Copies of this chain bind each other. A is one copy, B any other.
Amino acid sequence: SRSIDLAVIPGDGIGQEVVTQGLKVLNAVLPQDVKLETKEYDLGARRWHRTGETLPDAELEALKNHDAILLGAIGDPSVPSGVLERGLLLKLRFAFDHFVNLRPSKLFPNTATPLAGRPEIDFVVVREGTEGPYTGNGGSLRTGTEHEVATEVSVNTAYGVERVVRDAFARAGARPRKKLTLVHKNNVLVHAGHLWKNIFDAVATEYPEVTTDYLHVDAATIFFVTQPERFDVIVTDNLFGDILTDLAAAVTGGIGLAASGNINPTGAFPSMFEPVHGTAPDIAGQGKADPTATILSVALLLRHLGYEAEAARIEEAVSADLAEREGKAARSTDEIGDALAVRVAS
């Protein structure tokens, strides 16, 4: 009999609320014969305030034994910037070698895009997750003086770039439009840029059916708002991917719908699924948060674990739910979760 052993990190702010709905829908969609076990980990701002810990080794070890991780949101204005990001969220991505940071962007029906004319938007960003300017490689000298020098080093390896580029080509090849765009800034960041471009071009020869394209990151932001329909799959560096996926979320109806997977495709470590949004402390605990991004992240989680039909059922339920909400009153976090749980079960 099948089973899923899931680690759950609700985190801070609206994290707990949205994760509750994600689990509700997960329970509703899973076939009877699949046994779901969950274990909650108390990590995030509250834990840090209480104990000073971000991610103790024992918990990092324990997390390794799960099939996957569902994360709500991490962070609070009361914690100095960088402490939880580097000490928890990025630590997990790096420790578990989540080299594919997968972020689909789709303009669902009845969602409020800021773009005039509602273009067709349906693309996926494959963001590298373990290299680039995110490595924490850098430092500062004469800190706090007028002679301070602070550096940040973007580290890019052929090994790291090739594996994510291969993943992106495979994903592009499996989609109807079969188009892959590399986004970088190889006219300025020439060393990293040439490494990315050379590997991209080399792998492309193995995928003759995939149409390829290159854009500088600055130009890519223009097309995100003027011609988002031109994109199918995008592969890019960790920092460019961070920037582009927030912009993508904004043009596809907001961060409340943007799902993501921090994936280790080799299966050596558990993959982690989380909404792109933050903890939204201003609305936490009020039942106002939209759990849809978390529920769509559960779909990515299911697909990663091989439950393709169930993943698709969640995505279709979200699409149908949004299509029918026109003119309806705003719903609570719980009501949205309930509505989607009913849809996926039936």
* Contacts A114-B225, A138-B191, A221-B244 known; 15 new A-B pairs at CB < 8 A: A81-B187, A81-B197, A82-B188, A115-B225, A133-B152, A147-B158, A148-B158, A148-B195, A151-B191, A151-B192, A218-B243, A219-B246, A221-B250, A225-B247, A243-B243
Give bound CA distance, A95 to B158, whole Å. Answer: 33
Interface contact B188-A134, CB-CB below 8 Å = yes
Q: Which of A233-265 contact B (CB under 8 A)?
A: 239, 242-247, 249-251, 254-255
Can you list 7 residue pairs at the A/B interface with Cβ under 8 Å?
Answer: A115-B225, A138-B154, A146-B159, A150-B191, A152-B192, A188-B242, A222-B250
User: Does chain B have a CB within 8 A of A4?
Assistant: no
Alpha-carbon distance A201/B326, docked complex (angstroms): 45
The answer to the question of A185 belonging to the interface, with a C-beta cut-off of 8 Å to chain B, is yes
Pick the contact of A193: B82, B136, B189, B217 (CB < 8 A): B82
Question: Closest approach, in angstroms, between the C-beta of A68 and any C-beta of chain B?
Answer: 24
- CB distance B146 to A239 under 8 Å? no
Task: Chain B residues near A86: list those with CB within 8 A.
Answer: 187-188, 190
CB contacts (< 8 Å) of A134 on chain B: these are: 188
Centre residue among A86, A162, A191, A222 by max chain B CB count within 10 A: A191
**Nearest-Cβ distance from residue A254 to partner chain B, whole angstroms:** 8
A230 in contact (CB, < 8 A): no
The proximity string for A residues 81-106 relative to B, scoring 1 for CB distances below 8 Å and 0 otherwise, is 11001100010000000000000000
Task: Give chain B nearest CB distance to A206 CB in angstroms.
Answer: 15
Which A16-34 residues have a C-beta within 8 angstroms of B? Answer: none
Judging by beta carbons under 8 Å apart, are A221 and B247 in contact?
A: yes
Number of interface residues of A (CB under 8 A): 67
A322: B residues at CB distance < 8 A: none
- Given A193-B82, A195-B140, decide whether A247 and B247 contact each other with a Cβ distance below 8 A: yes
Do A217 and B192 touch (CB < 8 A)?
A: no
Contact between A153 and B152 (Cβ–Cβ < 8 Å)? yes
A186 at the interface (CB under 8 A from B): yes
* A56 at interface by CB-CB < 8 Å: no
Contact residues of A between 158 and 211, Cβ < 8 Å to B: 158-159, 162, 185-195, 197-198
A115-B114, A239-B185, A242-B218 in contact; A192/B158 too (CB < 8 A)?
no
Complex Cα spacing A187 to B152, Å: 13
Of all chain B residues, the one with the shortest Cβ separation from A149 is B157
| A155 on the B face (CB < 8 A) | yes
Residue of B nearest to A136 (CB): B190
Q: Is A52 an interface residue (CB 8 A)?
A: no
Cα distance, A254 to B219, chains bound together (Å):
11
Q: Which residues of B contact A245 (CB under 8 A)?
A: 218
Contact of A225 among B82, B149, B251 (CB under 8 A): B251
Q: Are A189 and B138 in contact (CB under 8 A)?
A: yes
A306 within 8 A of B: no
Q: What is the CA–CA distance of A117 and B113 in the complex, to the nearest angstrom?
A: 11
Contact between A191 and B255, CB atoms less than 8 A apart? no
Taken together as a complex, chains A and B put the C-alpha atoms of A222 and B249 apart, in Å, by 8
Are the CB atoms of A218 and B246 closer together than 8 Å?
Answer: yes
Q: Contact between B222 and A246 (Cβ–Cβ < 8 Å)? A: yes
With a CB–CB cut-off of 8 A, which chain B residues contact A193? Answer: 81-82
In the complex, what distance in Å separates the CA atom of A146 from the CA atom of B163? 11
